[in-house]
Amino acid sequence: MHSLHSSKRSGATDEPAWVRWLLTVAALVFLAFFLLLPLAAVFTEALRKGWDLYWEALKEPEALSAIKLTLIITAIAVPLNLVFGVAASWAIAKFDFKGKSLLITLIDLPFSVSPVVAGLIYVLVFGAQGWLGPWLAEHDIKIIFAVPGMVLATVFVTFPFVARELIPLMEAQGTDEEQAALVLGASGWQTFWKVTLPNIKWGLLYGVILSNARAMGEFGAVSVVSGHIRGLTNTVPLHVEILYNEYNFVAAFACASILALLALVTLAVKTWVEWRSERQMAAEQAVVHDH
């Protein structure tokens, strides 16, 4: 079978054709059941009663305010973590210091913490019974059950994404190019903008896409700190939950389909970025070999 032979291998290190077929089919059936069907279900359920009701559900004022709030929270949380990610990876990848691996473990920590626990810790700090609760109440500042708390929870759950993409990339690139720029008289910032940033742009974009997807889709952490105030502290995922629990399935899946589209766009851009950075690396290696 032409379409199903293994690459670069032959004879003794190859499985018989029927084994290859069996394994491929088994893998594809598993992925179809666990990935493709749920994805397809979102769109078929959303369009079950036709396009008119679909648009109707998206044009509801509550749906629109949920979309707006999701965009606002993401627009604050992602840039904050972007700046942090660049600073952290500059310090970690370009310098040698004691306790580096501890610092990396601490940066990764939010990935291992349950989203519900992530929401809870901010309630414990800023909530009515929390550390800063009385002080905040005195000054009439609302953080929990309001937008600032939701931004904080989102920052927490997307915290490591950019740093985690950049650290290995910058470590692999080393410091030779920066040192050359500095020797030639560039200032520190010039070196960063003209040498480092162009080198890490694909990794940076990759990290931003992943944080963006997580920020827009976060449910557990945001749910704990939101207070579920309709039209005020509802993001799209929280709005989906409310609609679903009201048995308004078409509207719930209509809103869910926006998030599913976002996921598909994320995967498409991610694949494109991977392809671009692969090509860039291959081109650089070709240049090295030519010289």
Partner 1 sequence: MRFRQASVLPGFGLAFGYTVFYLGLVVLLPLSALIIKTSSLTFDRFWEVVTAERVMAAYQLTFGASFVAALINLFAGLLVAWVLTRYRFPGKRLVDALVDLPFALPTAVAGIALTTLYAPNGLIGEWLAPLGVQVAFKPLGVVVALTFIGLPFVVRTVQPVLQELEAELEEAAACLGASRWQTFGKVILPTVLPALMTGFTLAFARAIGEYGSVIFIAGNIPLESEIVPLLIIGKLEQYDYAGATAIASVMLLISFGLIFVINLIQWWHGRRHGMRK
**273 within 8 A of 282, measured Cβ to Cβ:** no
Which one of the spans 21-29, 50-58, 198-206, 278-286 is the region binding partner 1 (CB under 8 A)? 21-29
CB-wise, 3 or 61, nearer to partner 1? 3
Alpha carbon of residue 280 to chain centroid: 23
Q: Does 79 bind partner 1 (CB under 8 A)?
A: no
- Cα distances (angstroms) measured from residue 71 to each of 151, 214, 263, 273: 11, 12, 15, 23
Q: Does 18 bind partner 1 (CB under 8 A)?
A: no
Q: Does 216 bind partner 1 (CB under 8 A)?
A: yes
Site for partner 1 in 127-156 (CB under 8 A): 127, 129-131, 152, 155-156
* Distance, CA of 6 to CA of 10 (rounded, Å): 8
Q: Does 194 bind partner 1 (CB under 8 A)?
A: no
**93 within 8 A of 85, measured Cβ to Cβ:** no
Smallest separation, CB 205 to partner 1 (Å)? 15
Q: Does 251 bind partner 1 (CB under 8 A)?
A: no
Using CB under 8 A, which of 162, 205, 253, 254 touches partner 1?
253
Q: Does 223 bind partner 1 (CB under 8 A)?
A: yes
* Distance, CA of 11 to CA of 94 (rounded, Å): 46
Using CB under 8 A, which of 60, 76, 110, 232 touches partner 1?
110
CB-wise, 195 or 232, nearer to partner 1? 195
Q: Does 168 bind partner 1 (CB under 8 A)?
A: no
Q: Does 244 bind partner 1 (CB under 8 A)?
A: yes
CB-wise, 100 or 290, nearer to partner 1? 100
The one-character DSSP state at 3 is: G
CB-wise, 245 or 287, nearer to partner 1? 245
Among residues 116, 58, 49, 36, the alpha carbon closest in space to that of 243 is found at 58
Q: Does 207 bind partner 1 (CB under 8 A)?
A: no
Smallest separation, CB 290 to partner 1 (Å)? 25
Q: Does 281 bind partner 1 (CB under 8 A)?
A: no
Rg (CA), the chain: 24
| Three-state secondary structure call for residue 159 | coil
* Distance, CA of 218 to CA of 122 (rounded, Å): 15
Q: Does 3 bind partner 1 (CB under 8 A)?
A: yes
Which residues 6+ apart lie within 8 Å of 279 measured at CB? none
Nearest-5° Cα angle at 118, 115 to 124: 145
Phi, psi of 284 (to 5 degrees): -65, -40
CB-wise, 73 or 260, nearer to partner 1? 260
